[in-house]
Structure 1
């Protein structure tokens, strides 16, 4: 037989606590999916909630907490696919919860950046914010969040903060693995298309390239590098520069898949066949890497898993330490790499 509430209207959190024989704080922890409960207590409270048909009032909870159940996503990134992939992971983490995602693009070069972010936080009162690179690399933004009492998690290609406020990837190490793969295939003259100036990911990936080239005794020189900015168009231009050099590289590592696709286009314009006459490696493992021809060898960046962990750190700060902070990328071999032509 279903339990009934003594209150005349809708069941309240007090009713749930009384009938469960626990405190309101314990009920709140069950509602918020806190890990600080044993399974028996959780199941008992969830059963009472189901029997009463109790529905938490998000407005009342937001008022009590002095913040809304919003996850803010702050970014200034030219790679739209990267932002979409991150959103996918966040939305997966908050599915079937009362949390919602609000996206806030910013201009990282604006002198009013900190004022803009402060105004967003004070107006929206988010439960917390997720900060994407390269904005995440600005320590002043993290300090602004702390001053405003807003929880935050930063994403980066290297350690930027304490684990509870950080998800990071091993970009430098995995790029070294990619260059080793090319060297093992027989390549000694490998070109690099870098990422945008001022991006920590670009710095880490270039450092991984430089360290591998030095360690393996491969050809080195400024003529083997070209500047890109994570867009197809910049990959096309940088690829043209490298492929028009004499002698040209037998392989090219592009710091993301969009630019690698641009290199492929530049190679076809010149009648250079991939992988027969040029090997090509990208970074990210976005859909484009598998859909172009030939399918492209690339680094799989676990951005969806990183985003999911970052969101879970925000929605349950008490369990933040249980979420991983370091995510390892993997090299995904495909058909765009072959031994260099004789």
Structure 2
């Protein structure tokens, strides 16, 4: 019975089904405290992050909770500072104190191989989220950011835009780098040159998008479209345009990335690349609570462009 409850891979399917039927007939409910004591682990999934994008973190939380809702597992969230010299010690203490069953690492700290190794050495199952392949399929959920951004930029060019601005994400984020490469790919695909004066950098927060928008819209020949590396910064660019009485979308088209609630709630509603955050988080949670079958869960997720009212062809 214990092997069935603990989802042991040593049982064949027929035996598993017979034991599950007996458990159902008896109405047996395992004692989570006793099981945690035997396993020397609590049934806790840790979500560890240092990510300024609050909407993204919330989406991940919701995806994990959807998956574990009818299980004995619970979620604990731990923000950290990746610049702190004590980050590794802080995370080690957190895992040991909570006796975590598994942890999900969000970018950018998910890109740290040494951190993932430390978690495993502590006997903790790890799943890493990223914008590119960081690990084997059993320990990874990733998206095709570079390809998705390339296609979004190429679509802006198809609308007729030739001066396309870009707001990059923060240095040190693999997602920011992948989206920057995707922008360059899309411009090349459209036969357009990237111009330094049409590029700005933000930190995934609204305020940095506001500053980037002010920078890009102050050049002598401002862009007719701007691609932003996330929705929060795109909302900042939209506000910067309004402050200068630039009409969106007639005078300026704006595209974001993530498809968070922000994208649909601002006006005009934002064209954006939908990042399948919830699906990625659900798959990650499934890998963590059932590591024996982790490799059978999806690992690579495709993003797609959601076209809304913030983009139109440029004025003649």
Normalising TM by the smaller chain, what interval?
Answer: over 0.9
Residue matched to 1:31: 5
SS of match in other structure, 2:48: strand
- Between 269-278 and 48-57, the greater mean CA deviation after superposition: 48-57
Residue matched to 1:275: 249
**Unaligned 5+ residue runs, structure 1?**
1-26
Question: Root-mean-square deviation (CA), in Å?
Answer: 1.5
Residue matched to 1:238: 212
Residue matched to 2:105: 131
Length-normalised TM-score, structure 1 = 0.89
SS of match in other structure, 2:29: coil
- Between 316-325 and 33-42, the greater mean CA deviation after superposition: 33-42
SS of match in other structure, 1:246: coil
Q: Specify which of 271, 291, 295 is matched with residue 321 of structure 1.
A: 295
The C-alpha deviation readout for 1:73-92, integer Å capped at 9, x for no partner, is: 10011111111100011011
Task: Provide the C-alpha distance between the structure 1 equivalents of 2:26 and 2:134, rounded to a whole number of angstroms.
Answer: 46
Residue matched to 1:215: 189
1:200 is the counterpart of 2:170: no
1:140 is the counterpart of 2:117: no
Would you say the 8 A contact 1:309–1:324 is kept in 2? yes
Would you say the 8 A contact 1:190–1:219 is kept in 2? no
Task: Provide the C-alpha distance between the structure 2 equivalents of 1:276 and 1:248, rounded to a whole number of angstroms.
Answer: 14
Q: CA deviation at 1:124?
A: 1.2
Would you say the 8 A contact 2:7–2:292 is kept in 1? no
Q: CA deviation at 1:33?
A: 5.1
Q: CA deviation at 1:295?
A: 1.2
The C-alpha deviation readout for 1:70-115, integer Å capped at 9, x for no partner, is: 0011001111111110001101111111000011111100111111
Q: Specify which of 64, 69, 87 is matched with residue 43 of structure 2.
A: 69
Residue matched to 1:22: none
Q: CA deviation at 1:51?
A: 3.0
4+ long deviations beyond 6 Å: none
SS of match in other structure, 1:277: coil
Residue matched to 1:257: 231
The C-alpha deviation readout for 1:129-149, integer Å capped at 9, x for no partner, is: 000001111111011112212
Residue matched to 1:109: 83
Task: Provide the C-alpha distance between the structure 2 equivalents of 1:282 and 1:292, rounded to a whole number of angstroms.
Answer: 12
Label 1:35 to 1:306 Cα distance change in 2 as closer, same or farther (>3 A). Answer: farther
SS of match in other structure, 1:193: strand
1:266 is the counterpart of 2:249: no
Label 1:331 to 1:37 Cα distance change in 2 as closer, same or farther (>3 A). Answer: farther
Would you say the 8 A contact 1:154–1:161 is kept in 2? yes
Residue matched to 1:98: 72
Residue matched to 2:133: 159
Task: Provide the C-alpha distance between the structure 2 equivalents of 1:36 and 1:288, rounded to a whole number of angstroms.
Answer: 47
Would you say the 8 A contact 2:152–2:186 is kept in 1? no
Give the greater-gyration-radius structure (CA): 1
Would you say the 8 A contact 1:152–1:165 is kept in 2? yes
SS of match in other structure, 2:62: helix
SS of match in other structure, 1:158: coil
Would you say the 8 A contact 2:154–2:189 is kept in 1? no
Length-normalised TM-score, structure 2 = 0.96
Q: CA deviation at 1:50?
A: 3.0
- Between 44-53 and 276-285, the greater mean CA deviation after superposition: 44-53
SS of match in other structure, 2:123: coil
Would you say the 8 A contact 1:34–1:316 is kept in 2? no
The C-alpha deviation readout for 1:198-253, integer Å capped at 9, x for no partner, is: 11100100010012212322132211101111111111110011011110000000
Q: CA deviation at 1:48?
A: 2.3
Q: Specify which of 148, 157, 164 is matched with residue 190 of structure 1.
A: 164
Residue matched to 1:17: none
Label 1:233 to 1:123 Cα distance change in 2 as closer, same or farther (>3 A). Answer: same
Q: Specify which of 250, 272, 277 is matched with residue 303 of structure 1.
A: 277
